[in-house]
Chain A
C-alpha cells in the first residue's frame, strides 16, 4: 500500500510565482531553506499545506509549490485549525509575522498553542510592520522610531517565545533567517513534534528595521551574543567557547560565567524543563546571549488526536438520518 514517494528536490517545491520581497529581505533565505528541507521530510508534497495571514511573511505560501492559502490578517492559526480538523492527514504550516501573529492575531495564537493543535507555526519576527511601510510592531524595541512613532515608540515589547510558553506551547524554538543549517534543523524538529510547534525566526527587514539582529547575526559578534542550546549539552558560547550560562541558586536567575575553573557549574540544557525554558527564552543582549535552538519540548496529547478519538467514538454509533428524524415522541395521523 505504501508506495515509495517520488524523489523530490528543492525545485519541486518552488512555485512558478515571481517572488516579490525586497532585495536582501531575510524572507528569501527562509524560503530557500524551507524549499530545500521539504524533500528531506519525506512526506507527500500534496499533503503539505501552507496557511498565512497578512504581511510580508504571509506572501510565503505563494512561493511554495504545495497547497497554500493566503488568508486574512491574524487569522491563519484559526484557518489552519479548520484545515487540520477537516483532514488530519495533512501537514499544516502556519506562516506568520510579529504583527500578524501577536498583534491582530494574538488571540488565535494563544488558543492554538494552548489547545496544542498539530501545526508548525513559523513566526518571522522582524520587529516591524513591513508591508504597511514601517510602523512599530508589538515586538519592536522601546524607542523605535517609525512613521507612527516619530519620537520613538513607548510600548513595551513582548517576547514571542515567552508568550508561547505562557500559553502552554509544547514546542518552542528560535532560529535565524540566514542560518540555513540551524534553521533547517529546528524546522525539521518542529515538523516531527506532535502538537503545536512554535518557531520564532529572527528575520532581518533591510528596508524598515535593518540590523536589529546584527549582534546575533554578524559573524564576528554572534559568538558573544548568541548561544545555541541543545538538549543534554552544556550551554557554552563565546569565540573560544570560553563563556557559559549557570544558574544562580540564590536569586533563581541565570548568570554568565567563565568556563575555566567553573566546569561543574555550567548549566546543561534540558528541553523538558519549563522553568529553564523560561529563563533561556528571556535571555537578551547585551548582558546575555540570545538563545537559539529548541528551547522547550513537552510530550502532551494533541488536540487533533483527542478530537479524532472523540469523533471516532461518536462514529461508532450507528447514524441513520431517518432514525434521527423519528427519535423521541412521534404520532401518526391516518
Chain B
C-alpha cells in the first residue's frame, strides 16, 4: 500500500478546551535544545499530563553554527489522554534561528504558534538558511501566531549582573525560552532550578545566570503585551492509574531491565560492547551501574565484543552485547558460535537507518530480516522486540530469561526512536517480580556436556572451576550423545533438528498473542512490531471512534511467533502491517500463515505519523467495501 497522509485536522490551540499540545524546540546543535526539552518534559510529567517525547539530533556533533544540517530538535506531545507518539504536527514551534525555522515550519499547523529569537535572524544566518528575505518581515509566517522576540537581547539584559562573557551570557538563551514556554503551559520552574544548581554546582555564576534567564523568560510572558491568541493554556491532567511514575528513555529502561534480569536470574552479566550510534548510551548507562551484578567491557571492535560476551557465558556468567545494524552484521559469526555451542547470549540491536552507515541518528526497523536470517547455516534464535520506551525494561528481562533458560542467543530489537524517546513509566514493584534463578550444572556423576533438559531441550551449563566437569565444546558439530566432535551425517541432521525444535518450543513458554485494542476478530487487524506501536495505537483508536471495525495487534515475539498468532490473524478479513522498512514482518506473516497481509511501509528515518496510518486504514476499508 502506498504511503499517504491524512492531515489530522487538529488545531489543538484553537479548541475551546485545549486538552493536548505538541511542542517542538528547535535550534542550533549548540543551543541546548535537548536540555531544554528534558527539563520541560520533567515539568510536564510533574504537572500530571501524559506525554511522549522525541529528540531529533543532527548526525554532526558540532555542525557549523546556523547550518540547516546542524538543527537539533526536541519534540514533546503532552495531554490529558493517553499519548503514545510525539505527535504528527506541531502546535508550538520554538525556533532559535532561521535554520531551525526553515527546517520545521512546514510541520506547524495553520494558526499554530511560532516563537522565534529575532536577534538570531541576522543576514548571515538568513543566508545560511537560504532565506532570500527575512521571514519575520515578509508574509512567510502570515498563517501562524508569531511571537518574535529579541531573545538574545532579553537574555543579555537578564544575566548582566553576573558578569558573564558575551558568549556565556548568550548560552542562557535556551533557559529564557524555556521560562517563556513554561509560563505558556503553567509549568513549575522549581525542578529546573534544582537541576541547574546541580549541573553547575562548581560554577555558581553560571547557575544563577541560567536561573535568572529562566525566570526572566517566565516574567516576560506574564508582563509583556502579547499578540491576540497567545495566553496561558492549562492542559487538564491525564487520568492515569495510581502509582509512582518516572520518565524514562528506552535506553535507560533497557539497561535497567538487564540489571533486573541479572537479579532475577541471580547471575552476573558481562556487557561487552563497542561504541556505535545510537547504541552507545546503553554501554554508558551500564558502565555507571557496576554496583549491580553487571560488569562492562569496551572491546576493540564489534566482533571482540560479542566474543568476550560468549567467553563470559562459557565461564558461567551471562554475556550481553549491543550494537546497531552494521555492528550486528559483524557479530553474526559469533552469534552462530553461541547457537552451535548452546551458550546463552543476549544481543541488543538498536536499529538505525541503513544500509551501511545509512542514517546513524535516525530510526528504522530494517534489521528484522537480519535478526531472523542473518547468519550462516541453519541457525534459528529467538527474536523479541520492544514496542515502547518503557516496554524496553520488560523485554530486556525476558531476553535474559529466554537466553539462560534455553541456552541460546536471543536477539532483542529496539531502535533509535525508542532509545532516545522518553515517556512516563509506572515504576514496577520489584518484590513482585517473578525470579528465574539459573542453575549451573553440578552433578558430576554421568556428566556429559551434551546433557539436556528433556522439556526445554536446553543443554546443561557446566561452569569452569567445577572439579569433575572438565569438558570441551566448540563450533564443530557435536555428537548429540556425547558432545564430542562428530561428522556423522545422521547426527548433523539430529542436531539441526534439535536447534530448530528448541527455539520453536519457546512458543509454549511465552504468552499467547493478545489484541491490544479492539476485537479479537473482525474486519481489519493492524499488526505492528517495535516502535510503530504509538502511531498504530492512536490511528486505530481514532478509527474505532469513527466506528470502523479495526483492531491493533502488536507482536513482541517475532521468533518464535506466539502459538495462536496464525489463528488470531485468520479471524480478520484483512491484515495491514505498517513497518519502517520495505516489508519484512509482512513477508514473514505471509509465508508463515499464508495470509494476504498488506504492507504499509515508510523508510524515511522518521517514525510513522498517526495520519499516515489512518490514511492506510481508510484506504483498506474503502478497498474492502468495493469487493
- A-side residues, CB < 8 A to B, are 15, 17, 44-47, 49, 51, 61-62, 64-72, 75, 77-87, 89-90, 107-108, 110-111, 307, 310-311, 314-319, 321-322, 324-326, 328-334
Partner of B472, one of A15, A111, A315, A333: A15
Cβ A68 vs Cβ B468 within 8 A: no
How far apart sit A83 and B341, CA to CA, in the bound complex (Å)? 15
Residues of A within 8 A of B312 (CB): 82-83, 85-86
Given A72-B333, A83-B464, A333-B241, A62 and B289 contact (CB-CB distance below 8 Å) = no
Question: Which B residues, 408 to 440, have Cβ-Cβ distances below 8 Å to chain A?
Answer: 427-428, 430-431
Cβ A46 vs Cβ B315 within 8 A: no
Cβ B48 vs Cβ A62 within 8 A: no
Q: A70-B474, A318-B291, A334-B242 are known contacts; what are 15 more A-B pairs with Cβ within 8 Å?
A: A17-B472, A67-B464, A70-B476, A79-B307, A79-B314, A82-B314, A83-B311, A83-B464, A87-B464, A307-B295, A319-B291, A329-B46, A329-B191, A331-B245, A331-B246
For the complex, is B471 an interface residue (Cβ under 8 Å from A)? yes
Residue of A whose beta carbon sits closest to that of B293 = A319
How far apart sit A198 and B291, CA to CA, in the bound complex (Å)? 33
**A–B Cβ pairs within 8 angstroms, 10 of them:** A46-B467, A51-B311, A72-B333, A78-B303, A79-B310, A82-B311, A90-B464, A111-B304, A314-B291, A329-B191
For the complex, is B247 an interface residue (Cβ under 8 Å from A)? yes
Residues of A within 8 A of B45 (CB): 329, 331
How far apart sit A331 and B341, CA to CA, in the bound complex (Å)? 46
Residues of A within 8 A of B270 (CB): 82, 85-86
Residue of A whose beta carbon sits closest to that of B240 = A333
- B251 CB to closest chain A CB (Å) equals 14
How far apart sit A310 and B314, CA to CA, in the bound complex (Å)? 23
Q: Mark B313-329, 1 if CB is under 8 A from A, else 0.
A: 11111010000000000
Residues of A within 8 A of B304 (CB): 75, 77-78, 81, 107-108, 111
- B365 CB to closest chain A CB (Å) equals 28
Top 5 A-B pairs, shortest CB-CB distance? A82-B311, A70-B474, A82-B308, A78-B307, A68-B472
- A41 CB to closest chain B CB (Å) equals 15
Partner of B259, one of A62, A79, A111, A321: A321
Cβ A329 vs Cβ B334 within 8 A: no
Residues of B within 8 A of A70 (CB): 472-476
- B290 CB to closest chain A CB (Å) equals 4
Cβ B337 vs Cβ A72 within 8 A: yes
For the complex, is B244 an interface residue (Cβ under 8 Å from A)? yes
How far apart sit A330 and B291, CA to CA, in the bound complex (Å)? 22
Cβ A333 vs Cβ B246 within 8 A: no
- B190 CB to closest chain A CB (Å) equals 11
Cβ A65 vs Cβ B470 within 8 A: yes
Residue tally, chain B, CB below 8 Å to A? 67
For the complex, is B300 an interface residue (Cβ under 8 Å from A)? yes
Q: Mark B274-310, 1 if CB is under 8 A from A, else 0.
A: 0000000000000001111001010111011101111
Cβ A79 vs Cβ B333 within 8 A: no
Residues of B within 8 A of A83 (CB): 311-312, 314-315, 464
Residues of B within 8 A of A328 (CB): 246
Residues of B within 8 A of A330 (CB): 244-246, 427
- A326 CB to closest chain B CB (Å) equals 6
For the complex, is B91 an interface residue (Cβ under 8 Å from A)? no
Cβ A85 vs Cβ B297 within 8 A: yes
Q: Mark B462-493, 1 if CB is under 8 A from A, else 0.
A: 00111111111111100000001100000000
User: Among B246, B259, B268, which residue has the most Cβ atoms of chain A within 10 A?
Assistant: B246
Residue of B whose beta carbon sits closest to that of A326 = B427
Residues of B within 8 A of A317 (CB): 291
For the complex, is B260 an interface residue (Cβ under 8 Å from A)? yes
How far apart sit A206 and B583, CA to CA, in the bound complex (Å)? 55
Residue of A whose beta carbon sits closest to that of B287 = A314
How far apart sit A67 and B473, CA to CA, in the bound complex (Å)? 9
- B330 CB to closest chain A CB (Å) equals 11
Cβ B46 vs Cβ A311 within 8 A: no
Partner of B299, one of A62, A78, A87, A318: A78
Residues of A within 8 A of B314 (CB): 69, 79, 82-83
Residue of A whose beta carbon sits closest to that of B343 = A69
How far apart sit A219 and B245, CA to CA, in the bound complex (Å)? 79
Given A70-B472, A78-B308, A331 and B46 contact (CB-CB distance below 8 Å) = yes
How far apart sit A332 and B474, CA to CA, in the bound complex (Å)? 52
Residue of A whose beta carbon sits closest to that of B311 = A82
How far apart sit A85 and B289, CA to CA, in the bound complex (Å)? 17
For the complex, is B183 an interface residue (Cβ under 8 Å from A)? no
Cβ B471 vs Cβ A68 within 8 A: yes
Given A69-B473, A82-B308, A329 and B246 contact (CB-CB distance below 8 Å) = yes
Q: Mark B450-464, 1 if CB is under 8 A from A, else 0.
A: 000000000000001
For the complex, is B42 an interface residue (Cβ under 8 Å from A)? yes
Residue of B whose beta carbon sits closest to that of A317 = B291
Cβ B242 vs Cβ A69 within 8 A: no
Partner of A325, one of B268, B311, B317, B428: B428
Cβ B319 vs Cβ A82 within 8 A: yes
How far apart sit A86 and B309, CA to CA, in the bound complex (Å)? 9
Partner of A79, one of B263, B308, B428, B464: B308
How far apart sit A334 and B240, CA to CA, in the bound complex (Å)? 9
Residues of A within 8 A of B191 (CB): 329
Cβ B466 vs Cβ A46 within 8 A: yes
How far apart sit A315 and B294, CA to CA, in the bound complex (Å)? 10
Residues of A within 8 A of B256 (CB): 321, 324-325
Residues of A within 8 A of B291 (CB): 314-319
How far apart sit A75 and B474, CA to CA, in the bound complex (Å)? 13
For the complex, is B272 an interface residue (Cβ under 8 Å from A)? yes
